[in-house]
């Protein structure tokens, strides 16, 4: 036996794989040992590491073993270049999808950590940049029962899927100012679209000062909470200057009561010049 040959165990360790994987590749004719001893032991040449590494790169690119074997067995330079360019584009798209998923995980972490530290009904005035949401027309209350919401959300998510729109986790509602006193009846279901998404109907919040408050409770608690918010802002010398954005804060995960909601409200506000200091 050539002393430069590697045992199956040594070669598996070199390739950071298992002997079972090498046995399988041998069985299907994808990567056969360089030499089989009289004792039926498999031995590999060191340079076969590069072929194994190439195979693993392609399998990590979701290429079927049958296709890899065909490309190696029927090697043609022009065909192989085309094949590799396809893999290159596939990995590019996969990288974009992974970036979207990473952004989604980051948003989930930030949202849940924010929920944990929320002081319910504590009003904050914050300066926000312009922000755009994907929107879908609806006529459901932002604090309707989950049974009532189900049909509207189903249509919204189906519409987004049909248009290849990638959404972030938090969804919400746009409540026009004229409907503040009408059981918080929403005009749109909305959600933030991840980067790279194709845009459908869009709703843009203007840059400016926003009042932010999180309310926990049933529909009545939310209606009363919005009234208290408006009164509190008047005392601070502000008035509602835009629509109300109601962002559901993982009520389905975070609270046990079926018709109890944790909602973060955002509303564009302006200083009341008549009451300015």
How crowded is residue 124: how many other Cβ atoms within 10 Å of its Cβ? 10
Inform me whether the pLDDT recorded for 260 exceeds 80: no
Percent of the chain at pLDDT > 70 equals 82
Per-residue model confidence (pLDDT) at position 1: 47
What's the whole-number mean pLDDT along residues 134-160? 76
Tell me the two tokens of residue 192: 């933030």
Per-residue model confidence (pLDDT) at position 275: 58
Per-residue model confidence (pLDDT) at position 31: 94
Per-residue model confidence (pLDDT) at position 222: 86
Alpha-carbon torsion (44, 46, 48, 50), positive or negative: positive
Inform me whether the pLDDT recorded for 74 exceeds 70: yes
Which domains does the chain show, CATH number per domain? 6-75 (1.10.1660.10), 119-275 (3.20.80.10)
Report which of residues 65 and 164 the model is more confident about.
65
Tell me the three-class secondary structure of the chain, residue by residue: CCCCCEEHHHHHHHCCCCHHHHHHHHHCCCCCCCEECCCCCEEECCCHHHHHHHHHHHHHCCCCHHHHHHHHHCCCHHHHHHHHHHHHHHHHHHHHHHHHHHHHHHHHHHHHHHHHCCCCCCCEEEEECCEEEEEEECCCECCCCHHHHHHHHHHHHHHHHHCCCCEEEEEEEEECHHHCCCCCECCEEEEEECCCCCCCCEEEECCEEEEEEEEEECHHHHHHHHHHHHHHHHHHCEEEEEEEEEEECCHHHHCCCCCCEEEEEEEEEEECHHHCC
What's the whole-number mean pLDDT along residues 144-157? 73
Lowest mean pLDDT among 16-20, 71-75, 170-174: 170-174
String of b and e for 208-232 (b: at least 16 CB within 10 Å)?
eebbbbbbbbebebbbebbeebbee
Average pLDDT of every residue of the chain = 82
Per-residue model confidence (pLDDT) at position 118: 67
Report which of residues 248 and 78 the model is more confident about.
78
C-alpha 119: how far from its chain's center? Answer: 27
190-226 pLDDT per residue, tens:
887 665 455 567 888 889 999 988 888 888 888 888 8
Percent of the chain at pLDDT > 90 equals 32
Inform me whether the pLDDT recorded for 25 exceeds 50: yes
**Residue 65: which pLDDT band, with cuts at 50, 70 and 90?**
very high
């Amino acid at each position: 036996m050539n002393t430069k040959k590697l045992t199956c165990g040594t070669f598996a360790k070199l390739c950071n794989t298992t002997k079972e994987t090498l046995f399988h590749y041998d069985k299907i004719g994808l990567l056969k040992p360089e030499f089989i001893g009289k004792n039926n032991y498999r031995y590999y040449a060191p340079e076969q590491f590069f072929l194994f590494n190439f195979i693993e790169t392609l399998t990590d690119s979701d290429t079927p073993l049958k296709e890899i074997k065909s490309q190696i067995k029927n090697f043609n330079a022009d065909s192989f270049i085309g094949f590799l360019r396809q893999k290159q584009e596939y990995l590019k798209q996969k990288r974009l999808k992974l970036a979207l998923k990473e952004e989604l995980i980051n948003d989930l972490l930030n949202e849940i950590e924010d929920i944990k530290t929320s002081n319910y009904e504590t009003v904050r005035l914050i300066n926000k940049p312009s922000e755009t949401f994907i929107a879908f027309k609806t006529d459901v209350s932002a604090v309707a029962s989950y049974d009532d919401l189900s049909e509207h959300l189903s249509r919204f998510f189906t519409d987004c899927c049909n248009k290849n729109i990638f959404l972030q986790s938090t969804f919400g509602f746009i409540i026009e100012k004229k409907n503040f006193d009408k059981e918080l009846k929403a005009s749109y279901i909305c959600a933030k679209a991840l980067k790279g998404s194709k845009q459908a109907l869009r709703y843009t919040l203007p840059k400016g000062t926003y009042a932010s408050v999180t309310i926990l409770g049933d529909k009545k608690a939310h209606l009363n909470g919005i009234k208290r918010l408006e009164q509190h802002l008047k005392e601070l010398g502000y008035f509602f200057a835009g629509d109300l954005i109601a962002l559901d804060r993982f009520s389905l995960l975070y609270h046990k009561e079926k018709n109890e909601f944790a909602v973060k409200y955002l509303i564009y506000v302006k200083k009341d010049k008549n009451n300015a200091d």
